[in-house]
Structure 1
Amino acid sequence: MWLNLQLFGFRALWSPYFFLFVALLGVTYFLITGPLRHKFGVEDRPSVKQQSLFYLGLVLLYIVKGSPVDLLTHITLTAHMIQMAIYLIVFPILMIKGIPVWIWEKVLLKPVIRSVMKVLTFPLISIILFNGLFSMYHLPFIFDLTKSSPVFHTTFHLVLLIAGFLVWFPIMSPVKEFAHIKHPLGKIFYIFGNSVLITPACVLIIFADAPLFAAYSSSGAWIQALALCVPGDVLSGLASSFQITGPEMFSSLSTLEDQQLGGIIMKIMQEITYGSILAKVFYSWFSPEALKIDPLPVTTVQTNDAN
């Protein structure tokens, strides 16, 4: 497949402009949290762990949105589902944990943004918003629409990403005001509910008995989807010279098999991520430090001794 993908050219494979955008984000983070932090009244640099999580997030962002993986998402639904799992579930966690609290506070505690965030981070709203948008996105007519228009594609992906951030805020918000769920049991129910609500979209894709998306099953719609990342002159040249007709030219799987595998992978990756968060919640709840019995207050001990 790799040799076949080379046909699409360097720009389609490696998205140099997107690479520059991601690199700019990294440089901006370094400057704001490093040499320029004193201008914001901050003394401490982010921890090594925070910096590692942030830069790891940027690397993953480029891999799924700028490397050949992004091209593959327009060829196979399996690659698309891997992209969505990392982009919407893993990447927001890394950014939330990697960006220092004081940056979040300066951005989110602005009067208007603060009021909006109070509403959107309410657990019931955030969980329905994310899973509702995710399911809506994978309705065939909406999915095919986003694959046929750069404007719809970019807009819907940005909206989904914002919802992907919001859904984690109730249990891991860097700003305490938006961390609505503090008790471990509440966090467990919230994560479990999130896992349940994302299941219908995966089930629809896994158990469908026919291809759902024209972007992978119709040659015309597929060419339109490729145009989202392949330059027009390259695509037109390939269409005439090599007579590319559909994703089956680049994959050994049938369209239906690819669709089923994509749904399975999305569910597995989502369960692994949520399971990891659950394990962390359980550990913090039942860790030896959390289970220690608080000593009796000094005043109580003294009172008993007097008696």
Structure 2
Amino acid sequence: MPLSIFGFRALWSPWFFLSLVAVVLLYFLITVMWRHRFEGSTPLTKNQIIFFLSSMTLLYIVKGSPVDLLGHILFSVHMGQMVVLLLIVAPFLIMGIPNWLWRKAFEIKIIDRIFRLFTNSVVSLMTFTIAFSAYHYPMILDFVKLSLPLHALFTTTIFLSAIFLWWPLVNTLEGQPRLHGLKKIGYIILSAILVTPACALIIFVDVPVYETYSSGEAWLQAMALCVPAGTLSGLAGLGISGPEMFTNMTTVSDQKLGGILMKVGQELIYIVVIGKIFFTWASDERANADEITKQDLIKNHNMTTHG
């Protein structure tokens, strides 16, 4: 069956779209129109604009477009959403907000204390691993998907844990927790290892473990998170019994594909990040080596001249 049967509101989430538009407008008002009101502010860079707008666009695609509706039908699409939301949107958002604006946010003591605690490299790794693994534990995910407030709370929590995870890697703010050089690579590798058990459980289990993606009754209740109640009641007479009405994949195949997408997506993104870190580190080392050599030559020249 086509997704269009769920209606425009379920497919395109107009209120969510308008909310993101408001966030983008507020961003440019603060960083451009009202920037002179903030001491120490600097003009936006091209990269900051690109990263911020990219984060908002991707956020709408995964949580507001038909992809979000499909993510309630297919577990594999849900895991694809997680890859984009946690491993792309989160770092893009951090890099899209200028340092002076972050600095203003950290003037609020509670925000500063929370970030200093949860962006410690050990704490951030454990927080993200626990949040991700717990969220995808079958009993918890099924329970959360039956409640809109709980679903919003858990999604926000896991997204914040992703912000904390990426903060030591991509933030450039003086005085904030940051990793350098090879420590970044070790941090990323450890993050990949810690998430592996949760993905492996999903990939290698041979029975459906999520009722909200297999049981018709539980699935219909979960669909209420993104489909208006009036639309759902109107669809009841069409004989829609579960996600199998929208895919040729078996529930177990969809489940396995979801685990594979999460793990492969994570590995590919991490490989790109590690590559960038390595080349940046190597470039800095070469630059420092040249500077040291230059200073030594000047020193030797002076000694020879004065000798």
TM-score by length of 1: 0.95
**Aligned equivalent of 1:197:** 194
**Aligned counterparts of 2:212 and 2:200: Cα–Cα separation in 1:** 19
Amino acid at match of 2:163: F
**Aligned equivalent of 2:161:** 163
TM superposition shift of 1:132: 1.1
**Aligned counterparts of 1:292 and 1:229: Cα–Cα separation in 2:** 58
**Aligned equivalent of 2:147:** 149
**Aligned equivalent of 1:296:** 295
1:256 and 2:252 equivalent? yes
**Aligned equivalent of 1:108:** 106
State which of 257, 280, 286 in structure 2 corresponds to 1:284. Answer: 280
**Aligned equivalent of 1:306:** 306
State which of 215, 218, 221 in structure 1 corresponds to 2:215. Answer: 218
> Are 1:96 and 1:174, in contact at CA under 8 Å, matched by a contact in 2?
no
1:238-257 correspondence to structure 2 within 5 Å: 238-239=235-236, 241-257=237-253
State which of 225, 228, 231 in structure 2 corresponds to 1:231. Answer: 228
Report Cα offsets for 1:118-153 as digits up to 9, x if no partner. Answer: 211110000010011101111100000111111110
Question: Secondary structure of the equivalent of 1:34?
Answer: helix
1:78-117 correspondence to structure 2 within 5 Å: 78-117=76-115
The change in CA–CA distance for 1:44 and 1:176 in structure 2 (over 3 A counts) is closer
Superposition CA RMSD, Å: 1.5
Amino acid at match of 1:228: L
> Are 2:116 and 2:177, in contact at CA under 8 Å, matched by a contact in 1?
no
> Are 1:284 and 1:290, in contact at CA under 8 Å, matched by a contact in 2?
no
TM superposition shift of 1:224: 1.1
**Aligned equivalent of 1:71:** 69
TM-score by length of 2: 0.95
TM superposition shift of 1:90: 0.6
**Aligned counterparts of 1:34 and 1:180: Cα–Cα separation in 2:** 28
Unaligned runs of 5+ in 2: none
Unaligned runs of 5+ in 1: none
TM superposition shift of 1:230: 0.1
TM superposition shift of 1:116: 2.4
State which of 29, 53, 65 in structure 1 corresponds to 2:27. Answer: 29
TM superposition shift of 1:114: 1.7
TM superposition shift of 1:41: 3.0
